[in-house]
Structure 1
Amino acid sequence: MKNQVYVFMGEGANYPAGIFESKEKAEEVIKRYSLTGILSLYPIDMLLYDWAIEKKYFDIKKEYQKSPKYIGQFSCASVDHFHYEEGVCVN
Structure 2
Amino acid sequence: MSEVWVFHGAGSRFTSGIFTSRQQAEEFIQQYQLSGILTKYPLGISAYDWAQQEGIFQPTKPEQYTTGFIQRFTSASQEHYHYEDGKCDA
Query: Does TM, normalized by the shorter one, top 0.5?
Result: yes
- Cα distance in structure 2, aligned partners of 1:38 and 1:68: 24
Distance 1:45 1:59 in 2: 20
Matched, 1:81 2:80: yes
Q: Distance in 1 between matches of 2:11 and 2:55?
A: 29
- SS of residue matched to 1:83: strand
Partner of 1:16: 15
- SS of 1:76's equivalent in the other structure is coil
Structure 1 runs (4+) greater than 4 angstroms displaced: none
Kindly report which structure 2 residues correspond to 1:19-58, keeping only aligned pairs within 5 A, or say none: 19-58=18-57
Deviation at 1:71, TM superposition (A): 0.7
Letter in structure 1 aligned against 2:43: I
Give unpaired runs (5+ residues) of structure 2: none
Residues in 2 aligned to 1:86 and 1:54: alpha-carbon distance in whole angstroms:
35
Q: TM-score scaled to structure 1, two decimals?
A: 0.95
C-alpha displacement of 1:64: 1.1
Q: How many residues align?
A: 90
State the Cα distance separating 1:75 from its structure 2 match. 1.1
Sequence identity (%): 41
Gapped regions of structure 1 (runs ≥ 5): none
TM-score w.r.t. length of structure 2:
0.96
- Quote the Cα distance in structure 1 between the aligned partners of 2:38 and 2:31: 15
Q: Counterparts of 1:58 and 1:68 in 2: how far apart (Å)?
A: 16
**RMSD, aligned α-carbons:** 0.9
SS of the residue 1:64 aligns to: helix
